[in-house]
Amino acid sequence: MLRVSKLTDYGSVLMSYMARHPEQIFSTACLARAVYLPPTTVSKLLKILHSNGLVLSTRGKNGGYRLAFPAQQITLAQIVNALEGKVAITECSVKEGLCHIEDHCEIRDNWRGINRVIYDSLSQVTLQDMLSQESTTEPLTMTE
Q: Is the pLDDT of residue 71 over 60?
A: yes
CATH architecture assignment, domain 6-130? Orthogonal Bundle (1.10)
Whole-model pTM: value is: 0.85
Residue 10, C-beta contacts closer than 8 angstroms, at least 6 positions apart: 35, 37, 41, 45
Residue, of 142 and 101, whose pLDDT is higher: 101
The arithmetic mean of pLDDT across residues 112-132, rounded, is 92
Residue-level pLDDT at 142 = 46
- On whether the CB atoms of residues 57 and 67 are closer than 8 A, the answer is no
- How confident is the prediction for the chain on average, in pLDDT? 89
